[in-house]
Structure 1
Amino acid sequence: MSAPFESFTIDAEGLALHVRQRHASGTPAVLFLHGWLDHSHSFDALTAHLPREWRLVLLDFRGMGRSGHLAGGSNYHFSDYTLDVESVRAALGLDAVHLVGHSLGGIVSLAYAAARPEAVKSVFLIESLGPTAGDPARALERLRGFLDDSHRPPNRKRYPSVEAAAARLRENNPSLPEAAALHLARHGTEALEDGVAFTFDPRHRRRFGMSYDEAQWLAVQAGVRCPVRLLRGTEGLAPPEAVMRRRLDGLPTLSGAPLMIPGGHHVHMEQPEAVASAVTDFIRAV
């Protein structure tokens, strides 16, 4: 049986980040970065199939899972998530790590690997190939959207039960299996007097005021120096074919063609053993 995960918080410039770790003295060190509005428990089924001797570190991004929320008047920015990774590395003394990122976590993984090439040994992407900011002409529209969203109150919707919250997750992501949705809801909600609410900061739903356009993102990912592997679900999300080809061609360290596994956007929760096998093979080969 695998060793249990220990749960603790670290400091990210005054913000408490929730981290879980298994086998602190193990090697190699692998840091998992979850998707937007998810949390570290989205990797539970996958990590159960990884080698027991590996050091596994799972982070809840700021304002998600059990990590702290920003103070009133603050907003979340993409670069903040790279700071979360930097803070975890510093707090745990991780000189160099393998990164496994799903969706948003994959985007952060590539950005961090480009910014800190000496600190990242490899990047394994799950359903992730960069942001979707699009054409530079959308910059003004994005800024207006950010200002509009800032006037929306940060409402935390209540649900009568964890099961109801899980059903809501499946409305937004129909390919998500019922058991996976329930697992996300159990670990991603908290009980309140009038039901349960998701723990993520509702301000995460606001649009970014600034983001990378396609040319900027290609310039960022061109800085990646470590091996990269991409895994996609056959029914998952993908950018337009031309965008995907351009981004794949712009990753000189990409290891082979994208690996396809039956499943949707949360394919690592649908096919955890198969995804874990792919992660294991890739990291062992690096």
Structure 2
Amino acid sequence: MTAPTYFARRPHQSRFTLLRGLRHHVLQWGGNDELDANLPPLLMLHGWMDVGASFQFVVDALQEQGRRVIALDWRGFGLSAGSGSDAYWFPDYLGDLDALLDAVSPEAPVDLLGHSMGGNVVMSYAGVRPGRVRRLINLEGFGLPQTQAEQAPARLTKWLDDLKTPQELKSYPDLAAVAARLMKTNPRLSEAKAAWLAPHWSRELDGARHILADAAHKRANPMLYRKDEILATWARIEAPLLWVEGACTDLSKFWGSRYPRSDFESRLAVVPNVQREVLADAGHMLHHDQPEALAASIEAFLA
């Protein structure tokens, strides 16, 4: 039987741009002839081990056709160049985002959306550059468990050991195997969407499919996650925030008892203006699970 096919309603245009000297892949939906100059661009930033094309299903579900929608492949993910180093640092994502905004909207504030890791980046950015963000949307960018100073020696030791260890990502025999891997990670992902994502999430090399990500991302991060610094940044956010999560997401599956829900709630409470949405029958990849419901929430919020 022929596998079901997903047809993109609004195909994206693909281009490359230099951000801080590094070649980045940028996706855009909406040609110049159909854009409403009065609508700010909506920038979408993906999570760890994902790609900008991951937002295709949500963009297809958006009813507003006049808004320019832009997605970025973070450095070392998708078709963007790797950093050339043996490790990746969170502040570099802020620097890349700042450079992207200089390129696409140097004068006017933008609407900013991030998922998971991307959600953490846009939250920090909106606190550091509050005047550059009109509306802010965080899709399950929970942050990380608080760390303690006494953890620093072990973290640094682990990082030094990882630097001496070659990092690898699993390869797959064909696109069908890549799609199967995506569905295993997210059982709610349909076969048609998985088949559409597979060629955007991997590339063919030497007769196999390889994930479009720098394996150096797997190395331990030697920097401690300091909750007080995050709270100081989040408290500076001026843009209204839409927080969206899946009803089926369970924080304990990520971090066990190290990051209780009450801790996250206390963090979110410092943001001055928060609207919350919970999407039924959706997990962490809610932009794949319920793109229509998510698109409706996004458009209502941006309007």
Structure 1 length as normaliser, TM-score?
A: 0.91
**Unaligned stretches of 5+ in structure 2?**
1-7, 252-258
**Map of 2:261 onto structure 1:** 241
Q: Does the 8 Å CA contact 2:53/2:197 hold for their aligned counterparts?
A: yes
**In the alignment, does 2:161 pair up with 1:148?**
yes
Secondary structure (helix, strand or coil) at the match of 1:187 reads helix
Distance 2:180 2:165 in 1: 25
Which of 157, 162, 179 aligns to 1:166? It is 179
Report the alpha carbon displacement of residue 174 of structure 1 after superposing the two structures with TM: 4.2
- Distance change >3 Å, CA 4–CA 167, structure 1 → 2: closer
SS in structure 1 at match of 2:136: strand
Q: Is 1:98 matched with 2:111?
A: yes
- Is the aligned partner of 1:18 residue 2:25? yes
CA drift at 1:185: 2.2
Which stretch shifts more, 273-282 or 188-197?
Answer: 188-197
Question: CA deviation digits over 1:157-198, x for unaligned, max 9?
Answer: 321011212323344444544444333322110001131101
Contact kept, 8 Å, 2:188 with 2:289, in 1: the verdict is no
CA contact (8 A) 1:180 1:270 kept: no
SS in 2 for 1:265: coil
- Equivalent residue, structure 2, for 1:33: 45
Q: Separation in 2 of the partners of 1:170 and 1:138? A: 35
1: CA distance between counterparts of 2:182 and 2:11?
Answer: 27
* Higher mean C-alpha deviation, range 183-192 or range 268-277: 183-192
The one of 139, 142, 146 equivalent to 1:126 is 139
Moved more, 134-143 or 46-55: 134-143
Report the more deviating stretch, 203-212 or 47-56: 203-212
Question: Counterpart of 1:44?
Answer: 56
Counterpart of 1:231, as a letter, is: V
Query: Do the aligned residues in 1 keep the contact of 2:279 with 2:293 (CA within 8 Å)?
Result: no
Length-normalised TM-score, structure 2: 0.86
Letter in 2 for 1:78: F
Match of residue 289 from structure 2: 270
**Within 2, Cα distance between the matches of 1:170 and 1:2?**
22
Report whether the alignment pairs 1:187 with 2:206.
no
Which 10-residue stretch deviates more, 118-127 or 90-99?
Answer: 90-99
What is the number of equivalent residue pairs in this alignment? 282
- Pairwise CA distance, 1:133: 4.8
**Distance in 2, Cα, partners of 1:164 & 1:157:** 11
Residue in structure 1 matched with residue 14 of structure 2 by the alignment: 7
The letter of the residue matching 2:49 is L
Post-superposition CA distance 1:202-235 (Å, at most 9, x none): 1111121114222222122112111111111111
Return the alpha-carbon distance in structure 1 between the equivalents of residues 192 and 199 of structure 2.
Answer: 10
Q: What per-residue deviation string (whole Å, max 9, x for no partner) do you get for residues 89-134 of structure 1?
A: 1122343111111111100110110111110111111122223354
The alignment partner of 1:166 has SS state of: helix
* CA distance in 1: counterparts of 2:9 and 2:176, whole angstroms: 29
Is the CA contact 1:107–1:131 (under 8 Å) kept in the aligned structure 2? no
Root-mean-square deviation (Å): 2.1
User: For residues 182 and 4 of structure 1, do their structure 2 counterparts lie closer, same or farther at Cα, with a shift above 3 Å needed?
Assistant: closer
